[in-house]
Amino acid sequence: MADANTTRAKLQIGEPGPGVKKVDPILVAHGVRRSFGGVSAVDVEHVEIPRNAITALIGPNGAGKTTFFNLLTGFDKPDTGTWELNGKSLANVPAFKVARRGMVRTFQLTKALSLLSVMENMRLGAGDQSGERILTALFSGFWRKREKEITDQALDLLTRFKLDTKKDDYAASLSGGQRKLLEMARALMSKPELVMLDEPMAGVNPALTQSLLSHILDLKKEGMTVLFVEHDMHMVQTIADWVIVMAEGKIVAEGYPDVVMRDPAVIDAYLGAHHDTDLGSLTGQLEVAKELGDSFLVNEISEEISDEASSKETTDGQ
Ligand SMILES: Nc1ncnc2c1ncn2[C@@H]1O[C@H](COP(=O)(O)OP(=O)(O)OP(=O)(O)O)[C@@H](O)[C@H]1O
């Protein structure tokens, strides 16, 4: 069987592992640390995000994934650390300026502004509204042209995300999945190079799952880079080119999806997060297998559970 590593473009220089250098990194972070009281939430020694690839950031609950996203995008400040987008430092750059530099994010819980219409939400994503730049506002001719450009761009994106018929509806009236699509569409208004998605699949019903996945794949086709946090391992295996695993604030593994999910350090990280789970019990083992997205193991354990249940029924019935 051909080694999967040899049939795809190489993203890293050297053996995959925590902190490995990338052939063409778009984002490089070094020594980024953040603690809350005594808890070390993020302690990333070194990480590089490969350009024009889809990278998944995974790890058990409380691993520090969202905090790391918040730090990189200027929504929180680290205790120490440096990070650069396209070689330019982003440390101490506030969130709204980070977006202008080409890096945008979405949130685990969508931040679509409920009392604004879908179109108004999109216009906010453009980031350079008239009130923001007094000088340009003085040149009203220029501004009218820009307004039209923003509206046209928003309509294009809404059509692509199948939200154009809802453009005048309040964002509050959208379903959870449609709000996720709106958030992604809005993020694209600033024409980013790097799109960071925090749990894009959470709360999305199965009918919209496929369309969300293909929108993410389209971003890569258009030359963008995607970094996403996700618990849904099926999604990770389906669309990620590269996987970074965090546990207890640190990066514990990095590599190609099919390889990294079998890395003992990854299995340990997930098992370690289950110290309260009875791993001697089948239900405890099932929980961990599901979290690791190991469908073979999930099937095996589920079969064992149902075998046990039916043999118990037979015994009870005697
Ligand atoms: N504002 C805060 N104040 C105190 N502790 C915090 C704060 N934000 C995060 N933490 C702690 O930092 C650690 C990392 O949390 P974080 O939410 O980043 O993890 P996560 O990997 O995103 O988890 P999940 O997958 O459950 O979303 C946790 O121990 C969490 O309790």
pLDDT digits (tens, 9 = 90+) for 184-207: 899 899 889 999 999 888 878 887
Q: Which residue has the tokens 């799952």?
A: 209
Task: Tell me how far CA of residue 166 lies from CA of 182, 212, 214, 254, in angstroms.
Answer: 10, 17, 21, 40
Torsion sign across C-alpha atoms 181, 184, 187, 192:
negative
Cβ neighbours of residue 243 under 8 Å, at least 6 residues apart? 55, 56, 58, 236, 253, 254, 255, 256, 257, 260, 261
Ligand 1 mean position, distance from CA 244 (Å): 17
**In 294-313, which positions are buried (b, 16+ CB within 10 angstroms) versus exposed (e)?**
beeebeebeeeeeeeeeeee
Distances in Å between the Cα of 189 and the Cα atoms of 77, 104, 158, 179 are: 25, 10, 10, 15
Q: Nearest residue CA, atom 31 of ligand 1?
A: 62
Ligand 1 pocket mutation pick from 33, 34, 65, 228 by most atoms within 8 angstroms of CB? 65
Non-local (6+) Cβ contacts of 118 within 8 A are 158, 163, 166, 167, 168, 169, 170, 171, 174, 182
| Beta-strand runs (E) in 51-161 | 54-58, 80-85, 88-89, 103-105
Least confident interval from 23-32, 143-152, 160-169, 227-236? 143-152
The strand pairing partners of 253, in sequence order, are: 245
Is 12 strand, coil or helix?
Answer: strand
Q: What percent of the chain has pLDDT over 90?
A: 42
* Atom 23 (ligand 1) nearest CA: 62
CA distances from 5 to 16, 22, 237, 254, 264 (A): 10, 15, 15, 14, 19
DSSP string for residues in 21-70: -BSSEEEEEEEEEEEETTEEEEEEEEEEEETTSEEEEE-STTSSHHHHHH
Query: Rounded mean pLDDT of 7-14?
Result: 82
ipTM: 0.96
| Confidence band of 112 (pLDDT split at 50, 70, 90) | low
Give the pLDDT confidence of 39-66 residue by residue, as tens digits: 999 999 999 999 999 999 999 889 999 9
Q: What is the per-residue pLDDT for 308?
A: 81
Q: Is the CB of 41 under 6 A from ligand 1?
A: yes
Residue of the nearest CA to atom 28 in ligand 1?
A: 62
pLDDT at res. 254: 95
CB of 60 shorter than 6 A to ligand 1: no
Q: Taking a C-beta distance cutoff of 8 angstroms, is the pair 64, 33 a contact?
A: no
* Shortest-distance atom of ligand 1 to CA 66: 22
For residue 170, how far is its CA from the centre of ligand 1 (angstroms)?
A: 31
Q: State the Cα–Cα distance between residues 285 and 268, nearest whole angstrom.
A: 13
**Angstrom distance (rounded) from CA 227 to CA 203:** 19
Q: What is the pLDDT of residue 301?
A: 79
Q: Helix, strand or coil for residue 180?
A: helix
Atom 26 of ligand 1: nearest residue by CA position: 61
pTM, two decimals, is 0.82
Give the pLDDT mean for 255-283. Answer: 75
Cβ proximity of 218 and 181 under 8 Å:
no
Residue nearest to atom 30 of ligand 1 (CA): 62
Sequence ranges of the domains in the chain: 1-112+191-273, 114-173, 276-318
Q: How far is the CA of 62 from the centre of ligand 1 (A)?
A: 5
Task: Give the class (CATH, top level) of 1-112+191-273.
Answer: alpha beta
Ligand 1 in contact with 34 (CB < 6 A)? Answer: no
